[in-house]
Structure 1
């Protein structure tokens, strides 16, 4: 058991319990989302005492220089002193300017930032609403006029996504933190073969990466796979067929995973099976191959592990898992 302090208040942590879990157990209203050090929602500032290894894992140089750490990754040592991070230190203001319903469970959302962020498709931002509730969403497009487009999936019992779908309206004021993440295209990849898999609505971020690569005159071949459960989930299918016709080096394949549709007639460039399995069969391993995986965390993490076991360079596998607060009775992956 260790005693630590947040804003002068004393907390007692249990054995191997993180700062975040201690605060939650104690009734503290700290914001958090993924609890895996990915979303950076639970940042606090280190002001004294010994810091445990890994507390700043995944933070950029600016956040580390300002002594920030992820409460979910910090196992407190006795005497650790922390301070709540002020919103103005990490967030800028934004306004919701467009909601487009693609289906009952998918929305294209556009926000206008109060100032420019140097963000790229494949990164993510944290959106905070009026009551402090914060969630992470992937950037699909960075548009002129400080506009950012995101594709939002409505989650069962999801507080933020259900608010966006049912209550939020155009003109809504938000706070934005970021950009975060490094699942992005860089000019140094120009001659590499790019293999991208978008799981579910992760196809939006994957397409954003493709479009960014094409805009920078990428010279290598690009292969994009959409891993979708049902045919009706292929919401970008027509646009991607057109993109493949307009760019010779760009190849697109949709993959349907529902067994119920395995016997149905599938659209053009669509097959039945897991995208990761199909991609592995079609692409021999090479040093010039670069893999991008975006979408549901379980599918992304499994595909990342499989790509590594298949022999792809670990540093050439870029991931953007859509981590979120799990509100189900049984945790993702079947664990209680």
Structure 2
């Protein structure tokens, strides 16, 4: 066992446990979500002892200098001292400015912060509800707007997404933290070929990245592949068709698991979006030397991890693979093996 201190209380951690694991097991109240160091929901502050290796991985230099660590990534050292943090130290107030249903399962939320927040499509923020419940959602609009746009799918057994979809109303107060992440468009990419693949509401950030690129006068070709279960889930299909008609350097294709019984929409085919993209594009290093390209992957963790691995093994450098994985709080009674 390793003894550490949290808010001046002694805590015994078992072998292999993180700080978060030990605190939860002993009944301490601490917000958390993904448990993978991505969402930054479980931040605590270091006050004494050695900071364990990896405890600050992924944090900004400002957070590191203020001695914040991710409890889910911190393996405690003997006599480590930590304290909980005040919400107002990391969150700012905001409210729901607009709410629009995009499909039977997807809602667009426009959040207005109380102060200016610099953000880009492809980053993500934490939303905190009145009762402290906190979840991460990806940003789908460009930096020029003071509003932050989110596309949120109502998840089965999802407390926060169900509340946003069915109950939250315009004017509702929230707290926001962030933004985080760097799966974004940069001006230095303007001559590259962009290949963007998003599944489900992973379309939101890649759609925002494309709009950002086009507004900055992107010169290279842009290819977007949206994966969905069926045509009803293609919630931005008409907008993307219109965008493709307006910009000659953009190509859009929807990929569904199954077609409907009626007449199929334009630019829709069956198949896995990543496999379809692989059939049109080569990702080997020889091709890249002649035609530089960047790959953006947004969506469920299994899809994003598979895509990153395949693209990298085919020769695409890691610095040209940009990923935003939707990590969720595990609500199952029986965890996966290894968790």
Q: TM-score, normalised by structure 1?
A: 0.95
Q: Any residues of structure 2 matched to 1:194-209 within 5 Å, and which?
A: 194-209=194-209
SS at match of 1:183: coil
C-alpha separation in 1, matches of 2:23 and 2:314:
41
RMSD after superposition: 1.7
SS at match of 2:274: helix
Structure 2 spans left out of the alignment, 5+ residues: none
Q: Any residues of structure 2 matched to 1:111-150 within 5 Å, and which?
A: 111-142=111-142, 146-150=146-150
Give the conservation status (yes or no) of the 8 Å contact 1:199–1:300: no
Give the conservation status (yes or no) of the 8 Å contact 2:297–2:304: yes
* Equivalence for 1:266: 264
Structure 1 pair 145/186, CA: closer, same or farther in 2 (3 Å)?
A: closer
The alpha carbon displacement at 1:295 in A equals 1.4
Give the conservation status (yes or no) of the 8 Å contact 2:231–2:260: no
Q: Any residues of structure 2 matched to 1:158-169 within 5 Å, and which?
A: 158-169=158-169
* Equivalence for 2:57: 57
* Equivalence for 2:27: 27
C-alpha separation in 2, matches of 1:330 and 1:278:
35
* Equivalence for 2:247: 247
C-alpha separation in 2, matches of 1:61 and 1:143:
22
SS at match of 1:280: helix
Structure 1 pair 144/217, CA: closer, same or farther in 2 (3 Å)?
A: closer
The alpha carbon displacement at 1:335 in A equals 7.9
The alpha carbon displacement at 1:15 in A equals 0.4
* Equivalence for 1:72: 72
Spell out, residue by residue over 1:140-194, the C-alpha distance to the aligned partner (whole angstroms, 9 max, x if none): 1147662111000111111111111222211111000001001000111111111
Give the conservation status (yes or no) of the 8 Å contact 1:143–1:149: no
SS at match of 2:242: helix
Structure 1 spans left out of the alignment, 5+ residues: none
Give the conservation status (yes or no) of the 8 Å contact 1:262–1:272: no
1:301 aligns with 2:305: yes
* Equivalence for 1:39: 39
* Equivalence for 1:320: 324
